[in-house]
Amino acid sequence: MRQSLNTLKTLQTFSELPDEAHVRLPVVAGLFAMSVSSVWRRVKDGSLPHPIKVSRRITAWRVSDLRRVLTEKAGAP
């Protein structure tokens, strides 16, 4: 339950995060309203940015990369 609350809080404050910040998979899935497997599918097909490996077991996305994709989607017809 704690992870879900943290994810919700991050989603609510996403616009306030600095561009250099990183977010993990549950936040990306919530931000784009898709399942975890859909996130990985979109990463593979290039429609979502590739994450970076923060450590051996931690993968995260740059907030600036995600904002760029959101902006591009907002401007698409």
**pLDDT tens digits for 27-37?**
999 999 999 99
Residues 6-33 pLDDT 10s = 888 888 899 999 999 999 999 999 999 9
Phi, psi dihedrals of residue 62, rounded to the nearest 5°: -75, 135
| Average pLDDT of the residues of the chain | 91
Cβ neighbours, 10 Å, residue 17? 16
Question: Would you state the CATH architecture of domain 2-75?
Answer: Orthogonal Bundle (1.10)
Other CB atoms closer than 10 Å to residue 38's CB: what's the count? 13
DSSP string, 16-71: GS-TT-EE-HHHHHHHTT--HHHHHHHHHHTSSPPPEEEETTEEEEEHHHHHHHHH
Q: Is the pTM here over 0.95, yes or no?
A: no
